């Protein structure tokens, strides 16, 4: 392509005159414009380089000449543009225009793209794909570098050729896994159950379900590595549901060997009702301490569009006890919603189970969401926070903050 | 990065490029700053020539940026040239380029080409409303009103919301034309304003007024005015439409509130079926009420006072004159506490009916239900704007009904706080309206900031002599 272009360029330069004449375009008439521009140059500006001939429209000729041969095939192709091919073309043009569009796109993704309900949805989806591609590429690059470095060190090691002696047995991940599995297996017999309620599929979009399962996989991993794991129950998990499909995507054949209980039954059928506690951020009741005799339920739901009260409604319907984490009591909350990801919940519950120490457990709440732990009564802390802000920001800000605090407390009372 | 003032030679471009920190994106950055500084076209051309010589090709994004520069400076012939070039070079163009071409060409004497471009866009996607705006403006400024209206209807059919500018242009350029068909179309536009509760701004209103007055033989005369509280126009002494919903609208709204707001996807989210049933029988047995009060909301009106005293004040005030009151609250109000004294609660319960919901239930939903069930005369008292409940309604038509009903039946904050006036702010409906020989059009000032719940107070009254 490149060589062909440069060849064409040469042709253009050598034979512009007949070419332009043939197309009958007056303003592309090369010698005319050359004399024009050069004379202008002489008259106006002597610093303009002596080699003159600044033909401002030369690029047009290059562009026009570059395509002459392609035109034929373009016409023939245009007739049979199916919708997906058309979408592909648009994407290609958007990429050329510098929008955030992935380089490669599969048929499946293309279908999802054409099914997007609005222009902004399309844009968002494309950006998502673009970023995904970018991360993948970066990861691959890093991996390659790592491999190179490893090979290098191996070579060096081979050169020095030192026999290693070590009195400890080398514990490979394989044997670690076996140890972990042993513990989880024990917990499946004697351990405290922890229920994930898998009945929120219709409240979520496809992407939210995918995110949920990802978080569940992470939580399962945390649990496996814990000193005293929970016995995880996936309740209400219907076969051939979207959850199940996503699980299979993550675990492949390991899904069958996974040391968890997955059931289509509801938790109310598996466990006695009075032992169940549904954990939800909307609950009016705040958890005081971790109870080892209760069975906690966590809703497997990622809620990007803030649907309040969905899990509380579920608990209400079944007449279960509910509880929320005492986030307000222990943390000076800053921003963000009080609902946490499933793996964070898992970490917190595991820590609580082991130590019963709220401070340690709430370390797993993302740092951006809170300013610090509450050591004094909350109103005192707020006072110092306000004082600091006045010193930092001046008086006006302080008033705004006061107003906000007032409204905020009012809201709390009303609730 | 400052673009040069004169066209440069290859050598000079090369030098500039080398001195730039990341040469790969030099052209992009340079073009961006050219657009920002509105550089002469020749400079841009010389850069393009330089790129073409070096690579034998020019990237699509650079061409688009060049078009943007041309459009900015209104260089029509150049725009056309670039269009031809891009058309032969690329199979299709993307939306950004089409936007620019349409905008550029519609402002020139070649505006008909913009229409063909619009057709091209339609083949690959839905054109944006600014595309239509350019074309409609071009058509109407060349007095092709028929074409302009065709485009206008086309975009409405595609569910695009026309900009106020489009509607404005339609009135501006139809001035003085005697054409019954056209007149009908413009009345249609006014009805569009009515249906979507759009309020024109001052300049737009002027243009409507001028158009009316310019209709040959129409004898229309426009006046700017304010409408009194009673809803009578001081100019023509005409009574505006009242804010009541029709029977059908009212029933429709009531059903939708029950379905979407109270039940929604899951009745348990706001209440529970048992509780709602209990409430329903409670309301049925005591119908109809005249005023329904959101007890908790009202009890926070004066933060210094005890909450139950606030509520007592309100109840005392509203209970004058033999009205049937319903106060909604939550069960925790019955617990004797520092804010809720049992004696005062007892006293109030003699004057009004009370319903106490569960502490975790939503009392607003009950408020809406009880008010709607009581009939059209019933009002409700709360400072809440009820936005979240409006958002639960699934289609925009019902949402507008809700807003209209709310305007007529919610005792507004101001009247409530001062003297508990027992009348809502608006007895008349604040939309564009007509009786055939009069038109009343509410409008707002050009830069007036208006919240969505506010309605304009200024009106244009047009009457036929």
Interface of A with B in 396-415 (CB under 8 A): 406, 410, 413-414
What gap in Å lies between CA B144 and CA B132, rounded to an integer?
15
The pair phi, psi for residue B111, each rounded to 5°, is -65, -20
Q: Given a cut of 70, is residue A324 above it in pLDDT?
A: yes
Per-residue pLDDT band for B337 (boundaries 50, 70, 90) equals confident
Cross-chain residue pair A312–B60, CB shorter than 8 Å: no
pLDDT digits (tens, 9 = 90+) for A300-317: 999 887 778 889 999 999
The verdict on A258 touching B (C-beta cutoff 8 Å) is no
Best of A4, A299, A310, A316 to mutate (most B CBs within 10 Å, chain B): A316
Give me chain B's average pLDDT, please. Answer: 86
The answer to whether residue B64 sits within a structural domain is no
Least confident of A74-78, B132-136, B327-331: A74-78
% residues pLDDT > 90 (chain B): 26
pLDDT digits (tens, 9 = 90+) for A139-170: 999 999 999 999 998 888 777 665 566 666 66
Name the domain count of chain B: 1
Nearest to B359 among A51, A56, A284 (CB): A284
% residues pLDDT > 70 (chain B): 96
Least confident of B158-162, B179-183, B403-407: B403-407
Q: Given a cut of 90, is residue A192 above it in pLDDT?
A: yes
Q: Given a cut of 90, is residue B338 above it in pLDDT?
A: no
User: Look-up: residue for tokens 């049933």?
Assistant: B277
- ipTM for the predicted complex comes to 0.80
Residues of chain B neighbouring A413 (CB-CB closer than 8 A)? 300
Hey, how many other C-beta atoms are within 10 angstroms of the C-beta on B247?
9
Cross-chain residue pair B124–A8, CB shorter than 8 Å: no
pLDDT average, residue stretch B285-306: 84
pLDDT at residue number A11: 46
Cross-chain residue pair A62–B57, CB shorter than 8 Å: yes
The verdict on A53 touching B (C-beta cutoff 8 Å) is no
pLDDT at residue number B21: 85
Q: Angle between the B76-89 and A58-65 helix axes, to the nearest 10 degrees?
A: 30
What gap in Å lies between CA B264 and CA A330, rounded to an integer?
35
Cross-chain residue pair A5–B56, CB shorter than 8 Å: yes
Q: How many residue pairs bridge chain A and chain B with CB atoms within 8 Å of each other?
A: 120
Cross-chain residue pair A59–B28, CB shorter than 8 Å: no
The answer to whether residue B292 sits within a structural domain is yes
- The structure tokens listed for B37 are 């500084």
Cross-chain residue pair A58–B52, CB shorter than 8 Å: yes
Per-residue pLDDT band for A398 (boundaries 50, 70, 90) equals low
- The structure tokens listed for B438 are 């009069």
Query: From the centroid of its chain, how far is CA B259?
Result: 25
Looking at the DSSP bridge assignments, the partners of residue B101 are: none
The answer to whether residue B22 sits within a structural domain is no
pLDDT digits (tens, 9 = 90+) for B411-461: 755 545 443 343 445 678 888 999 888 999 999 887 777 776 677 888 999
* CA within 13 Å, CB half, A80: 3
Cross-chain residue pair A414–B297, CB shorter than 8 Å: yes
Interface of A with B in 184-213 (CB under 8 A): 203
What gap in Å lies between CA A3 and CA A359, rounded to an integer?
67
Q: Given a cut of 60, is residue A175 above it in pLDDT?
A: yes
CATH fold, domain A167-374, is Alpha/beta knot (3.40.1280)
Residues of chain A neighbouring B76 (CB-CB closer than 8 A)? none
Per-residue pLDDT band for A335 (boundaries 50, 70, 90) equals confident
Spatial contact of B180 and B217, defined as CB atoms under 8 Å apart: no
Per-residue pLDDT band for A66 (boundaries 50, 70, 90) equals low
% residues pLDDT > 90 (chain A): 38
Spatial contact of B279 and B355, defined as CB atoms under 8 Å apart: yes
Chain A: give the shortest CA distance to residue B99, in Å: 13
Per-residue pLDDT band for A365 (boundaries 50, 70, 90) equals very high
Cross-chain residue pair B88–A64, CB shorter than 8 Å: yes
Identify the domain containing residue B403 by its residue range: 247-420
- Per DSSP, helices labelled H in B20-141 are 26-37, 41-55, 60-73, 76-89, 95-106, 111-124, 129-141
Closest CA to B93 of A67, A127, A94: A94
The answer to whether residue B387 sits within a structural domain is yes
Residues of chain B neighbouring A59 (CB-CB closer than 8 A)? 45, 48-49, 51-53, 58
DSSP assignment of B347-401, as one string? HHHHHSEEEEE-TTS-HHHHHHHHHHHH-TT-EEE-S---HHHHHHSSSHHHHHH
Per-residue pLDDT band for A34 (boundaries 50, 70, 90) equals very low
DSSP assignment of A41-93, as one string? HHHH-SSS-TT----TTHHHHHHHHTTTTHHHHHHHHHTT--HHHHHHHHHHH
pLDDT at residue number A376: 65
Chain B: give the shortest CA distance to residue A233, in Å: 25
Look at A396 and B38; give whichever has higher pLDDT: B38
The answer to whether residue B96 sits within a structural domain is no
Q: Given a cut of 60, is residue A8 above it in pLDDT?
A: no
Domain containing B374 — which CATH number?
Answer: 3.40.50.11980
pLDDT digits (tens, 9 = 90+) for B197-221: 888 999 999 999 999 999 888 889 9
pLDDT digits (tens, 9 = 90+) for B109-145: 889 999 999 998 888 888 999 999 999 999 999 989 9
**What's the DSSP call for residue B444?**
B
Spatial contact of A197 and A314, defined as CB atoms under 8 Å apart: yes
Q: Is the pTM of this model over 0.80?
A: no
Q: Where are the domains of chain A?
A: 167-374, 376-405
Hey, how many other C-beta atoms are within 10 angstroms of the C-beta on A340?
23
- The structure tokens listed for A349 are 């519950």
Nearest to A59 among B7, B58, B272 (CB): B58
């Amino acid at each position: 392509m490149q060589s062909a272009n440069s060849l064409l360029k040469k042709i253009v330069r050598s034979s512009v005159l007949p070419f332009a004449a043939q197309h009958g375009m007056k303003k592309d008439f090369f010698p005319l414009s050359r004399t024009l521009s050069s004379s202008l140059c002489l008259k106006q500006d002597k610093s303009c380089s002596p080699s003159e001939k600044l033909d401002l429209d030369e690029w047009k000729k290059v562009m026009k000449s570059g395509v002459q041969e392609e035109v034929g095939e373009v016409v023939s192709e245009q007739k049979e543009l199916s919708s997906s091919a058309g979408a592909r073309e648009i994407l290609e043009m958007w990429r050329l225009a510098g929008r955030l569009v992935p380089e490669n796109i599969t048929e499946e993704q293309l279908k999802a793209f054409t099914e997007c309900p609005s222009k902004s949805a399309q844009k968002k989806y494309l950006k998502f794909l673009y970023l995904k591609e970018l991360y993948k590429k970066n990861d691959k690059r890093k991996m390659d570098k790592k491999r190179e470095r490893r090979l290098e060190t191996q070579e060096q090691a081979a050169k020095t050729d030192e026999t290693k002696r070590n009195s400890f047995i080398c514990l490979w991940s394989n044997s670690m896994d076996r140890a972990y599995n042993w513990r989880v297996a024990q917990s499946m017999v004697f351990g405290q159950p922890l229920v994930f309620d898998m009945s929120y599929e219709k409240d979520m979009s496809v992407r939210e379900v995918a995110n949920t399962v990802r978080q569940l996989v992470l939580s399962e991993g945390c649990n496996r590595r814990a000193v005293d794991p929970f016995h995880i129950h996936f309740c209400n998990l219907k076969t051939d549901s979207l959850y199940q499909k996503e699980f299979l995507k993550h675990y492949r054949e390991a899904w069958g060997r996974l040391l968890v209980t997955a059931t289509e039954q509801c938790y109310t059928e598996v466990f006695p009702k009075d032992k169940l506690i549904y954990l939800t951020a909307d609950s009016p009741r705040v958890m005081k301490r971790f109870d080892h005799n209760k069975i906690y339920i966590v809703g497997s739901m990622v809620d990007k569009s803030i649907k309040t009260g969905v899990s509380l409604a579920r608990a209400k319907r079944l007449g279960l006890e509910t509880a929320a984490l005492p986030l307000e009591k222990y943390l000076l909350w800053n921003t963000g919603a009080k609902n946490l990801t499933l793996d964070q919940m898992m970490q917190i519950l595991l820590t609580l189970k082991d130590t019963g120490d709220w401070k340690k457990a709430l370390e797993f709440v993302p740092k951006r969401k809170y300013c610090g732990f509450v050591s004094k009564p909350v109103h005192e802390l707020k006072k110092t926070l306000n004082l600091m802000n006045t010193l930092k920001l001046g008086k006006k800000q302080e008033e705004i903050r006061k107003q906000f605090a007032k409204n905020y407390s009012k809201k709390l009372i009303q609730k | 990065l400052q673009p040069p003032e004169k066209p440069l030679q290859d050598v000079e471009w090369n030098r500039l490029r080398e001195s730039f920190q990341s040469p790969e994106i030099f052209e992009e950055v340079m073009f961006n700053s050219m657009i920002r500084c509105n550089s002469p076209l020749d400079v841009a051309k010389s850069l393009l020539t330089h790129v073409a010589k070096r690579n034998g090709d020019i990237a699509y994004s650079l061409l688009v940026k060049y078009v943007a520069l041309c459009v900015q400076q209104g260089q029509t012939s150049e725009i056309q040239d670039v269009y031809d070039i891009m058309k032969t070079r690329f199979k299709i163009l993307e939306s950004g380029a089409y936007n620019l071409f349409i905008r550029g060409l519609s402002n020139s004497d070649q505006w008909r080409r913009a229409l063909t471009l619009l057709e091209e866009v339609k083949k690959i996607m839905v054109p944006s409303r600014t595309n239509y705006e350019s074309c409609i403006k071009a058509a109407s400024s060349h007095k092709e009103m028929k074409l302009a209206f065709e485009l206008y209807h086309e975009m409405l059919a595609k569910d695009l919301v026309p900009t106020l500018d489009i509607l404005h242009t339609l009135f501006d350029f139809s001035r003085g034309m005697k054409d019954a068909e056209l007149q009908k179309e413009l009345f249609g536009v006014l009805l569009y304003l009515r249906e979507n509760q759009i309020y024109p701004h001052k300049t737009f209103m002027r243009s409507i007024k001028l158009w009316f007055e310019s209709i040959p033989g129409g004898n229309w005369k426009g006046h700017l005015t304010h409408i009194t509280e009673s809803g009578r126009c001081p100019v023509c002494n005409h009574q505006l439409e009242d804010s009541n919903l029709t029977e059908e609208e009212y029933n429709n709204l009531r059903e939708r509130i029950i379905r979407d707001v109270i039940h929604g996807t899951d009745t348990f989210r706001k209440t529970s079926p048992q509780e709602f049933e209990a409430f329903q029988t409670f309301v049925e047995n005591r119908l109809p009420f005249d005023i329904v009060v959101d007890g908790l909301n009202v009890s926070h009106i004066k933060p210094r006072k005890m909450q139950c005293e606030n509520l007592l004040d309100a109840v005392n005030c509203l209970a004058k004159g033999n009205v049937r009151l319903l106060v909604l609250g939550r069960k925790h109000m019955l617990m004797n506490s520092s804010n809720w004294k049992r004696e005062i609660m007892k006293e109030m319960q003699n004057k009004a009916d009370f319903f106490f919901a569960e502490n975790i239930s939503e009392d607003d939903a009950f408020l809406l239900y009880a008010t709607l069930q009581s009939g059209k005369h019933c009002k409700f008292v709360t400072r809440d704007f009820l936005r979240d409940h409006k958002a639960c309604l699934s289609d925009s038509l019902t949402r507008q009904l809700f807003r209209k009903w709310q305007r007529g039946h919610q005792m507004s904050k101001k009247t409530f706080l001062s003297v508990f006036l027992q009348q809502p702010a608006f007895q008349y409906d604040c939309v564009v309206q007509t009786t055939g020989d009069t038109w009343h059009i509410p409008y707002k000032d050009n830069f007036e900031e208006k919240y969505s719940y506010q309605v304009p107070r200024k009106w244009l009254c047009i009457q036929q002599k």
